C-alpha cells in the first residue's frame, strides 16, 4: 500500500470555465486510520456538472469546497483498512467524503456499503442504481406521478438523470419529448432510448418546437436546466 495520497485540491474559484491553476494535483502523506474510521482506495469517481457549482463561493444544497481542500466528488472504493464494525476489509463502499483522491480516510458513518447486483457492472452503482438513477426514478414516479398518455418534457435529456428519466416515463406509457444540445444527442434519444421526439436547443427555437410537437400543451416537466429553456416549457404547461 502506498503511503502517499494524490489529491486534486481547489486553489482558486473559477471565473466561468475551469482554467489551469484552479485545481492542483498534490501529494500528501496518507493519515492513519482512527477509531471508527475506514481507509478507502478509490476505484471510480463520478464527474458531474454539480462539481463545478461546488467551486463557487456561494451556498447551495451543500457548502462550497474550501480553497485548499480536496475537490468533492462521489466515489466508489474498496476498504483496505477498517477500525469500524460496520465494514470489513474488501467491502466496496460509496461516499462523497473522499473526493478527487487515490485514497480517503473517513468516518465509517460517511460511507455506504455497495451491494453488487448480479449481472451488472460495479459502475451501475454510480448510474442507474446510484444517485442519478434514484433521482430519475423517484422524480418520475413519486414527484411527477407520471401516467400513461401524459406528455412529459425533459430538459438536459441526454444527461445522466434525464436519459434515465425518459426511459422510465416511456415504460409508464408517457409521450416523452427530450431537449438536448446537438443533432447527435437528439438522434441518440429517439433512436436508442425510445424518446418520441427530441429538440435541439442549439439549432432550433425551443418554444416553436414545443408548439409543433405538443400543440395541446404539456402535462409534465422534468426540469434539469432552468433559465430560458425552463420558461419556454413552463409557458406551455397545462393549468
Q: How many whole angstroms separate alpha carbon 112 and alpha carbon 125? A: 11
**Pick from 53, 70, 71: nearest CA to 62:** 53
Q: How many CB atoms lie within 10 A of CB 52?
A: 13
Helix (H, G, I), strand (E, B) or coil at 213: helix
C-alpha cell read off for 76: 466508489
Domains, the chain, ranges and CATH? 4-125 (3.90.180.10), 131-234 (3.40.50.720)
pLDDT along the chain (239 residues), means of 10: 90 95 96 96 92 91 94 96 97 94 97 92 91 95 98 97 98 99 98 98 98 98 95 96
Question: What pLDDT, on a 0 to 100 scale, did the predictor assign at position 36?
Answer: 98
Q: How many whole angstroms separate alpha carbon 13 and alpha carbon 20? A: 11
**DSSP β-ladder status, 151-154 and 92-95:** unpaired
Q: How many whole angstroms separate alpha carbon 91 and alpha carbon 114? A: 8
Question: What pLDDT, on a 0 to 100 scale, did the predictor assign at position 1?
Answer: 63
Amino acid at each position: 500500500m502506498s503511503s502517499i495520497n494524490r489529491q486534486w485540491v481547489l486553489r482558486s474559484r473559477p471565473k466561468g470555465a475551469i482554467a489551469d491553476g484552479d485545481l492542483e494535483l498534490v501529494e500528501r502523506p496518507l493519515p492513519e486510520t482512527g477509531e471508527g474510521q475506514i481507509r478507502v482506495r478509490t476505484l471510480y469517481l463520478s464527474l458531474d456538472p454539480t462539481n463545478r457549482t461546488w467551486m463557487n463561493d456561494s451556498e447551495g444544497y451543500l457548502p462550497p469546497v474550501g480553497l485548499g481542500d480536496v475537490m468533492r466528488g462521489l466515489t466508489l472504493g474498496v476498504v483496505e483498512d477498517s477500525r469500524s464494525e460496520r465494514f470489513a476489509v474488501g467491502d466496496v463502499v460509496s461516499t462523497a467524503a473522499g473526493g478527487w483522491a487515490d485514497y480517503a480516510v473517513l468516518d465509517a458513518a460517511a460511507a455506504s456499503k455497495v451491494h453488487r447486483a448480479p449481472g451488472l457492472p460495479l459502475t451501475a452503482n454510480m448510474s442507474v442504481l446510484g444517485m442519478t438513477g434514484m433521482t430519475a426514478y423517484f422524480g418520475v414516479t413519486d414527484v411527477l406521478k407520471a401516467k400513461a398518455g401524459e406528455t412529459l418534457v425533459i430538459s438536459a435529456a441526454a444527461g445522466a438523470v434525464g436519459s434515465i428519466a425518459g426511459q422510465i416515463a416511456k415504460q409508464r406509457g408517457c409521450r416523452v419529448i427530450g431537449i438536448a444540445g446537438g443533432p447527435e444527442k437528439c438522434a441518440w434519444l429517439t433512436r436508442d432510448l425510445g424518446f418520441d421526439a427530441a429538440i435541439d436547443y442549439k439549432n432550433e427555437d425551443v418554444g416553436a418546437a414545443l408548439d409543433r410537437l405538443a400543440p395541446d400543451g404539456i402535462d409534465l416537466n422534468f426540469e434539469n436546466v432552468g433559465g430560458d429553456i425552463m420558461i419556454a416549457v413552463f409557458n406551455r404547461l397545462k393549468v
